[in-house]
Amino acid sequence: MSIRETIDQQAAERMEQLKDRGRLLVKCPDQPGIVSVLSTFLHNNNSNIIESSQYSSDPENGTFFIRLEFHCDNLTEKASEMEADFEKIAQAHDMEYRFNYGHERKRAAIYVSKEPHCLMELLWEWQNGDMNMDIALVVSNHEDSREMVEALDIPYYYIPANKDIREEVEAKQIALMEEYDVDVLILARYMQILTPNFVNHFENRIINIHHSFLPAFIGARPYERAHERGVKLIGATSHYVTNDLDEGPIIEQDTERVDHRDTVDDLKKLGRDIERRVLARAVKWHLEDRVIVNGNKTIVFR
């Protein structure tokens, strides 16, 4: 049995264990009784709440957000009927909502350029079972990572890209995303600007990672320029991609202290470590349906 077959078998066993597990995410105007309405709905459908997290932006005139994880026997058979019943509740309370189910494994495409550290972290987390997704394919504008990806029986697509052929490249990429039925696109240090057409195809489904020097050290050689400036903190930010470059809704950030003793190479090494863990956490929270986008901000139920 190949590595990929072993991983898929283990994932199938986990999906079987989670077949009666569901998640309900709701965003609506804050008003008295919302939690009671939701818990009553689940109770009436013989569902047991396992985890509940909620947030109100303003109890007077704000927006209410909640994530409910629940267990329901024979959920796969009941799901369609439950969703139809819930639609009436959603309309009555002006709710935006979504149901997700434990037996559904999101399909991911990972995009990478030359630096492999974020890709390697995702592959490791996926192999050890901590990243509950199916890596459908890897897309790159370089050949550097092909060997490590294909060793895991993951399709690797080399598509050279630059600003002169961007529309042609993205047309190929969109076709691949549709062919592989991809749910989430992960930019693991993919160093290409995406056009509005591409971003609009995958709203709130593209996750990016970048160093937190932006916008202070935007552009080339950020670590060298940060070193020259004598920064005391370096970090990384993972966010959803929008048409405002590197300004989409933030999912996760982290930092580390540095000082005058650290060289440019020290900053780069530490920066790679931060990028890996920040991207991995952001992807996990997305896969576990812990993120609700609200305008250009996120509510993250960790």
| Residues catalogued as catalytic | 246
Looking only at the bridges linking them, the beta strands covering 233-240 and 250-257 are antiparallel
Instruction: Give the CA diameter of the chain.
Output: 63
Three-state DSSP string of the chain: CCHHHHHHHHHHHHHHHCCCEEEEEEEEECCCCHHHHHHHHHHHCCEEEEEEEEEECCCCCCEEEEEEEEEECCHHHHHHHHHHHHHHHHHHCCCEEEEEECCCCEEEEEEECCCCHHHHHHHHHHHCCCCCEEEEEEEECCCCCHHHHHCCCCCEEECCCCHHHHHHHHHHHHHHHHHCCCCEEEECCCCCCCCHHHHHHCCCCEEEEEECCCCCCCCCCHHHHHHHHCCCEEEEEEEECCCCCCCCCEEEEEEEECCCCCCHHHHHHHHHHHHHHHHHHHHHHHHCCCEEEECCEEEECC
Give Rg (Cα) of the chain: 21
Nearest to 177 by CA among 169, 105, 114: 169
What does the block give as tokens for 42? 């689940």
Residue with tokens 């024979």: 74
What are phi and psi for residue 294, nearest 5 degrees?
-130, 95
What does the block give as tokens for 175? 């076709």
